[in-house]
Amino acid sequence: MTKGQQFAKDMRKNLGIGSRTRRYRKGADLHADILECIQHAVFNAGWYSEARQELFRSAFGAWQSCDKHIAGYRADGNVVAHINALTPYQFCSLLGRMVDADITNVAEGERFFAQVRTELYAQAA
């Protein structure tokens, strides 16, 4: 199991996300909750166990990239729409892919989202 797959599995377990979980649970946006868990692991030492904290910290570059390119609408509009339409389960998988791709900063995240754009347009063709 790769580090990204382990991240996705732990994040799903942490928030109780299943394959049929909807994006909004009792008014709370689970995409935002997933990103908030990463923030807690990075900025609040001792929030999680040591192993989980290190695993969630590995997604800090993915968090930065999502914050800049997806929430800030800097990526292609179709990519933003696609990612916003993902279920929380799929969003964890996307962040896990970013961890496996060693996204550590915003520039690498921009290249990753450009690759996602290419994949989306290839599927549509």
Residue 31's pLDDT is what? 96
Q: Mean of the per-residue pLDDT values for the chain?
A: 95
User: Taking the model in full, what pTM does it have?
Assistant: 0.94
Hunting for tokens 């791709």 — which residue is that? 101
What 8-state DSSP symbol labels residue 125?
Answer: -
Number of H helices, E strands in the chain: 7, 2
Domain boundaries, the chain: 3-124
- Rounded distance, CA 29 to CA 31, Å? 6
pLDDT tops 90 at residue 125 = no
| 3-state SS assignment for residue 87 | coil
118: which 2 tokens? 């290419």
Model pLDDT for residues 15-65, shown as the tens digit of each residue: 999 999 999 999 999 999 999 999 999 999 899 999 999 999 999 999 999
Neighbouring CB atoms inside 10 A of 103's CB total 27
Model pLDDT for residues 111-120, shown as the tens digit of each residue: 999 999 999 9
* CB contact at 8 A, 99 and 4: yes
Residue 60's pLDDT is what? 96
